[in-house]
Amino acid sequence: MAGHRDEDPEKLVVSNVYEGRHNLDSFESQEEFSPTGVMPIRPGHISSDTFDTTTSFASTPSGSSPSLFKELRVDEPGASPASAPNISILHGRDDAEIWKGWKRAVYSVAPLLTIVNTGVFIFYLALRIYCIVMAQRSVGIYYGGAWVFVIMEMAVAIPSLIHNCWTIMAWKKRTRPKFRLTGDEVPTVDVVVTCCGEEDAVVLDTVRGACDQDYPRNRFRVIVLDDAKSATLKAAIHDLATLYSNLFYMAREKVPGKPHHFKAGNLNYGLDQVQFLPGGAGQYLAALDADMIPEKDWLRAVLPHLLVDRKVALACPPQLFYNTPAADPLGQSLDFFVHIIEPIKDALGVAWCTGSGYVVRREALEDIGNFPLGTLTEDVATSTLMLGKGWKTVYIHEPLQFGTVPEDFGGHLKQRTRWAIGTVDTAMKLNFCLWGESVQYLTFAQRFSGFIYAILNLCTLTLTASLFTIPIILLWGKPLVAYANGEQLHWLIWASFISTVSNRLCEIALFTPAGYHTGQRNSRFQLWMSPYIALCMIRSFILPKWLGGQAQAFKPTGSLSSALHERDPQLMKNMFVRLRVMLLNYMAFFHLGFVYVTLVAVIISSYRCFAEESGAKDIIIGLITHAFWPPFAFFFICSSMWTPIAYAIDPPAMPDREDLLTRDPKTGVAHPTAESKKIAFGGQLVWFEVEYSAATIATVLVFAYSFFF
């Protein structure tokens, strides 16, 4: 920790607008990812009957943060709080209010269904390969189209099979209690709000929510870390500090030519500077993104998870949103990840820091050398490095913060491609979490998690490449499915039918915690986003710099790319401008071209069947073994790839942000309404379900027809 303790920190505070000390060389000079830190502090173990806290900020000498150890009482539900620090257990499960009853019973069979589904699909692929080989032997013809099609199926299936290996681990029961910290003798916390150019109104709502915590005012501070040095935000925080004496504003100097490391650099600056505030640094650091409004009991809900186990370095709740459009056409909500994936990871001790709402133990940060630099996803890198040092991280499955999703298509692409690049980049610099000093204490599950989530992003390369094969094979005029005789065709159709049915059942069970439609949106998202992520992967990890290679998120071109206002009924551009910008600036011409060429290929392939076959039976078999092999994959893929075009034609209208909030007229504190916290049902979901059901029904009809030929 850099700093000059011989100066009086009181002189640097003027109306809580903190100018700060700038020892930029302490971290700005690190251009590369830095996974190593100061001398390791091996996390020890304390029994559950002790807990650490700090004295009041006001009574603690500058720069010091002594620890006291007092008796910790864990009360049962209904017990009255005492003046001494204690933790109440509100429920045996932290997600008890999110999903329960029959949903938990259905979800409990998800691992078994996943195993069955995986086994059935592997059998189906093996049967496909066997039948191709037998068909070639019987007629002496090379079935190139059939081989390409089965390779495409395997390429599409690989990410799912890898993911299935992870979701099978849902068998490990997660038992994280719902805690609440009670009493007034609580630890001191520095709450930092990181921002960089967001609207002042958005940042101020987060700051007011952070200041309005149900937590003793003299036990926590709120520090706004403004990386844009906004004069209007600085003035607004100055005014708000007259109401909240524990509110501070900081903005670092960015020296031209020196890397500033974005959010990680901003966090490290705040971490370095808070020790010079009156009372010194708090024992715990909590962080909020600029748009994430915390619930009133956020700190009291998160902190107990660090207090009951001295080895827990970081605790993080899910990122939830209050401005997601009806039907969530772009798949912007993180519901699939926060309600399904993260609980599984938490049960296996692999909870990731998701970037906002987390509380971290300062000594754990010191152990890894503070927030790692040189990565686009400092949150994932931070939690991975902590796990690699032997610390624990936990996930709290409670709705404790609500923020905003990007309100434009370009912002969404930039966010998701940045996450993908950052995850892969971090994994590569940590040897995919397989070996190295920085990850030496990782368990098998932790190594496996770091490995597969990097591989899943890299798989977008093979997935995107495989998409080209669909129209190519159909235009080629070769059958997608090869077989030596009618009996083999029967077996192939039956195997395809069983695989489709088992996959549907598996989806229903696995998606239960997040909702069935959420899982379907996630599946579509993986398809239409794959070209964007694949392009960024090529630029970041394959192309040399002289050919345009650089580690960056997706960047649109053109001046109109960020000015469509597509969700504002008053400001949105007309449909022709939206389409032009989406096609040219956002690369949606690839999606349009793919859908157009694929549908033309289906029509041509179908025409050939009618032209070349004579009887009804031969025509139907020809259609089935060419374009319409169940479950009609081209239909689902084309529908998914059409997403950017459909979004440009009919974007979802959203009300003004203020209409989504309930605001206290006296304090100005705002929280999302109950309705805005849920994703509204939209007509698009009906269409998707009709489409999905039609493909399933058609598969059943093909299966039934197979008994008559």
The tens digit of pLDDT for each residue in 516-548 reads: 888 888 889 999 999 999 999 999 999 888 777
pLDDT of residue 296: 97
Weakest-pLDDT range from 53-57, 163-167, 265-269, 453-457 = 53-57
> What pTM, to 2 d.p., does this model score?
0.86
Which residue reads 């495409």 in tokens?
Answer: 152
Give Cα separations from 647 to 35, 236, 514, 650 (angstroms).
41, 36, 23, 5
Cα–Cα distance for residue pair 540/537, rounded to 1 Å:
5
Residue 226 scores a pLDDT above 70: yes
On whether the CB atoms of residues 246 and 150 are closer than 8 A, the answer is no
Residue 614 CA: distances (Å) to CA of 40, 240, 483, 620, 647:
78, 81, 20, 10, 43
Whether pLDDT at 82 is above 60: no
Q: What CA–CA distance (Å, rounded) separates 640 from 335?
A: 19
At 16, the pLDDT band (50, 70, 90 cuts) reads low
CA-to-CA distance for 184 and 167, rounded, in angstroms?
A: 41
pLDDT band for position 68 (50/70/90)?
very low
Local confidence band at 468 (pLDDT 50, 70, 90 cut-offs): confident
What is the torsional sign of CA 637, 639, 642, 647?
Answer: negative
Listed residue (350, 364, 372) closest to 312, CA to CA: 364
Three-state DSSP at 59 gives coil
pLDDT beyond 60 at 422 = yes
Helix (H) or strand (E) holding 293: strand 293-294
d(CA 332, CA 336): 10
User: Which stretches within 12-171 are classed as H helix?
Assistant: 102-107, 110-139, 144-167
**Cβ-Cβ contacts under 8 Å for 253 (sequence gap 6 or more):** 22, 24
Please give the C-alpha separations between residue 627 and each of 433, 471, 474, 618, 620, in angstroms, as whole numbers. 42, 10, 7, 14, 11
Q: In 3D, which of 446, 422, 424 has the Cα closest to residue 433?
A: 446
Instruction: Say which range, 89-93, 217-221, 550-554, has the weakest mean pLDDT.
Output: 550-554
Q: For the chain, first and last CA: distance in Å?
A: 77
The predicted-structure confidence for 198-212, as pLDDT tens digits, reads as follows 999 999 999 999 999
Of the two residues 558 and 451, the one the predictor is more confident about is: 451
What is the C-alpha to C-alpha distance for residues 170 and 345, in angstroms, rounded to an integer? 9
Higher pLDDT among residues 425 and 43, named by residue = 425
Q: What are phi and psi of 392, to 5 degrees?
A: -110, 150
How high is the mean pLDDT of the chain? 85
Q: pLDDT tier at 557 (50, 70, 90 boundaries)?
A: low
Q: Is 569's pLDDT higher than 70? A: yes
Whether the predicted pLDDT of 617 surpasses 80: yes
- CA 134, 135, 139, 144 dihedral sign is negative
The full DSSP string for 68-103 is EEEE-EEEPTTPPP-SS-EEEEEES-TTTTTS-THH
How does pLDDT run across 274-313, given as a tens digit for each residue?
A: 999 988 999 999 999 999 999 999 999 999 999 999 999 9
Of the chain, the percentage scoring pLDDT greater than 70 comes to: 87
Mean pLDDT in residue range 59-86: 41
Residue 179 to residue 312: CA distance in whole angstroms: 15
9-92+176-405, what's its fold? Spore Coat Polysaccharide Biosynthesis Protein SpsA; Chain A (3.90.550)
Residue that wins the pLDDT comparison between 59 and 205: 205
Tell me the domain boundaries of the chain.
9-92+176-405, 103-171+459-556+573-650+679-708
Higher-pLDDT residue of 401 and 57 is: 401
Q: Which of 463-472, 610-619, 652-661 has the lowest mean pLDDT?
A: 463-472
Contact 463, 534 (CB under 8 A): yes
pLDDT tens digits, residue range 346-377?
A: 999 999 998 999 999 999 999 999 999 988 88
Q: Which residues pair with 284 in a beta bridge?
A: 189, 361
Q: Quick one: CA dihedral 578, 581, 582, 586, positive or negative?
A: negative
> For the residues 597-620, what does the mean pLDDT come to?
92
Residue 459 and residue 466: Cα distance in Å, rounded? 11
Question: What is d(CA 511, CA 327) in angstroms, rounded to the nearest whole number?
Answer: 16
3-state SS assignment for residue 227:
coil
Predicted pLDDT at 20: 52
Nearest to 682 by CA among 641, 646, 637: 646
